[in-house]
Each structure stands twice: as structure tokens, then as C-alpha cells.
Structure 1
Amino acid sequence: MKLDAARIVLRPRSMAELLDLALRFCSEPAAKLYAKLGALTLLPAWLLCCAAAFLLDWSWVDVWLLAVALATPIQGVFTVAVGRKMFAEEVSVGEVLLQFWRRFFPYMGALIVSRLFLGLGGLGFFTVILPIWVWARVAYVHEACLLEQASAVGSLTRAGNMIKGRAPGAAGMLLLMTLGVCAFVLSAELLINNGLLEFLLQVGTPLGSLFYSGGSAAALFGFFLAVPFWSTARFLSYIDQRTRLDGWDIQLRFMAIQAADADEHERGAA
């Protein structure tokens, strides 16, 4: 891992810059890695949701809840991937999955604790500010647990400390990311269902319709396709927060200098 060879310049960025950078990161340096990881994680999750909808005849509300439940822990795989890909030229699928597995149980604990906290915040549904504030407070538990090696409860504390005084910005970023996911879902629905099946092949909508029945295989495909984008955008927002809060860009530069000095010293001793 080359600390002085980060794929992006570490500096404070606007929300629009972070989202644009996330899209470019997904499409260029991480595309092949994400595709392989997606085939192992997102594709089975999509097939499971399709089976629930079309074989088990679940309601689309239940199917979407299942999709969210599956996508939440899968985000961790892509969080590890983007964290490694940022500093390494080559990252294998095995390396990502091994690191994720090593932190799997603390990570699941962090997700359970954070979702309980989020659920309690949701009891204030009659207000708008409280649920969004709680959502922002637990946003970075993925990075805190998987990348900073924090415990389940420690991840929640670390994530909360990161947004102190910055909750509106973190909440705004989450809302923009949500709009991005909606764009993925709508694009998949329009391109696959309306464009390919209805217009080109003229077979109607045998796999459901987002606009008429509340969901479709195409919309689910778009949702799971958005998971790498969501994870990457949140990671870049996490990097932005650390740069603003901890001066992480300066820390990494000093770490890189120290690593280079150590290597030079070892070569001199040899």
C-alpha cells in the first residue's frame, strides 16, 4: 500500500464534487473489481429478491424491505474495496473478501446497534429533523468498523464524533446519495422495462412495473447496481470528513515520508 500514491487528491470537497468523483471512481479504477464483487454478492441478492417477488408472491413492500436488508451489509464489501483501491494499484477479490470476513461479526454488531438507534430515532416520525439527524449520526459506522477496526459500539461513537458540528452537511450528503440511488432505479426501469421489453421486444412488463405495481426486476436491478456507488460516495464523504476534522491529508503525507525514510534506511543498512 503506497500512502503517497492515493488515487484522489485529499482535500475538502463540495457535495457535488464528491458525487461526481464517486461516479468516476466506480467507472474507471474500480470497475473491474466492483463487477467481480457484484457478481458474488449483488447478483445473488437480486436473484433472491426476484424469487421472493415472482415465486413466493411477496408484496413489493416486503420485497423492497428485503432488498434494503440485503444491501445494507453488502455495502461493507464495497467499503473495504474502495478503501483498499484508493491506495493500491492492484486489489484482488480475495483480499477484499478476506478483510471483510475478518471484521464480519463486529460489523454485523455495529449494523444492528446502529439500526436500533436509527429505529428509535424513527419514533420521532412526526418530526423531520430527528430521524435525519440520527441517520447522519450513524452514517459512517461502516468505515469506522471495517477500516478503523472499531468495535460495534465504538463504531457508533466514532461515527457520531465525526459529524459533530457537521450534521447538516452529512445529512445533506445522504439525501443527495438517496436521490442518486433513485436515479439508478428509475434509469433501470425506463431502459429495461419501458425501453427494451415494452418498446423494442413488445412483450409488455412480465417482470413487474415500478409505476403500476410498485416494483419490478428491472427496478431491483437498478437498486443493487447503485450499492457500489452508494458505498463509494459515502467513503469519499468519510474521507472528506476526516480531512476536515483530523487533517488526514497531512497525516498521510507524514506517514508516507516516514515510510520512505524507513525504506531508505533499510536499503542503506543492507
Structure 2
Amino acid sequence: MTRRVLLGMLTPSSNTVLEPVTQAMVAGLPEVSAHFGRFKVTEIALSGSALAQFEDAEILRAAELLAHAKVDVIAWNGTSSGWLGFEADERLCERITAATGIKATTSMLALNEILKTTGVTRAGLVTPYRDDVQAKILANYASLGVDFSNERHLGLQDNFSFSEVTADQLTEMARAVAADGVQALAVVCTNLRAGPLVEALERELKLPVYDTIATVVWKSLILAGVDPKRVEGWGSLFRNVA
């Protein structure tokens, strides 16, 4: 029997996109399956109550439940460290591994690795977030030497509403940030339906497009010992980034 590869995904409770998209991404890998644990996330803002959703205790509780399924990796399939600061994800991964003995990653740490590996210093950014959240993301990336000033965001706060952003809206936002000098485009939010658009966007814009559902699947496969090049039809990330 071929060894099963089990990917554990920590999921915002109000997210309706990342589960079906993740399952579709790995559908061509017969030994790989994705398994999901939810914790409460209903809004994205900088208020005390909104920030408290991402305190480690609830996330660790969900991670420990995923560990019961003997998953090969536990990934936070979310983008909160974009505004909290990337050290929040680094600390979370350390705590998950300490509590479960399982390797851990996140959408944003994977994106950062990809940008560093590919030498991207100027990129376009698409999100659904509020002005103040977007400003935090821009500042955090500036500290890494990545200029995301070519950006578009929708000013939304309710996490469920992100899933209702249309393909046409996302396509127009991507076109708007694909300015001269941009080396890549990042879609930062795991409740946007951008993943299925990536191949078409890359053909049209002649740029790599890094969707944060794809980034965490890419890194999770690597940590689980699966060649991400086996994922077909979901963008140049899987084909070209070692």
C-alpha cells in the first residue's frame, strides 16, 4: 500500500473557500488528502476583539485535534500575520510543533519564503481588507524589503463576505496592480476564490501569481515529502519554485 500523506489545515470558522480549493489542488495526488480543523474567526479588523481571535490558545487547541488524525504537517491556512507581524506565525509554528511533534507552516511564511527564493522585491497585492489592515500589511512587507505599493483592496471586514467577491472583481484588481516593474502578484486572503483564476491570470499578465491557499499547499507538500511539481493546473508556483 502506498504511504498515505495527510495534510492538516487550520481553518477560519467562517471560511468557505479554502477547503474546496485545497481539496481540488491535491485531487491529482492519489496518496494525499487534506483534513481541516476550525477555530473562531468572523471578522478582520484591528479592534481588540478582532485581534483576539488569533491568540494562540484556540489555534493550538484546534491543532491538537488535528494531531489525533496523525497528519504529516499542520498548516495555518490563513493570513493574520500579514497585519499581526510575521513573528506571530513563527511563534505559532514553534508552539504547534512543541505541542504535537508535527511540522508546521502557514500561508504567509510560505509566501515570504517564495518571495525570498524568487528574489521578488516589488509585487502587486490584492486583498479584501480594510484600509488600516492593508496599511499594516504594506508596512510589514516593507520591513522585509518587499514593496507592495501597487495594491488594491476592497475595504471589507466580515470574513464570510470575502468568499462572495466575484471572479470578475478579482481579475480586475489583478490587472490594476500588474504595473510595469512588478515582478509578481500576491493574493493575500484564503477566503478569496483566486486560486482557480491563477493559470489564466498568469497567461494574461505574464507574471507569477501567488495565491495564499496555494502557498500553504505548496509548503505543506514539501514538508510532507511530496514533490509540488506533481500539482498541475494551479499556477507556476508548483512548477517553478523549488
Give the number of the structure whose alpha-carbon radius of gyration is greater: 1
Scaled by the length of structure 2, the TM-score of the pair is: 0.25
Structure (1 or 2) with the greater helix fraction:
1
Scaled by the length of structure 1, the TM-score of the pair is: 0.23
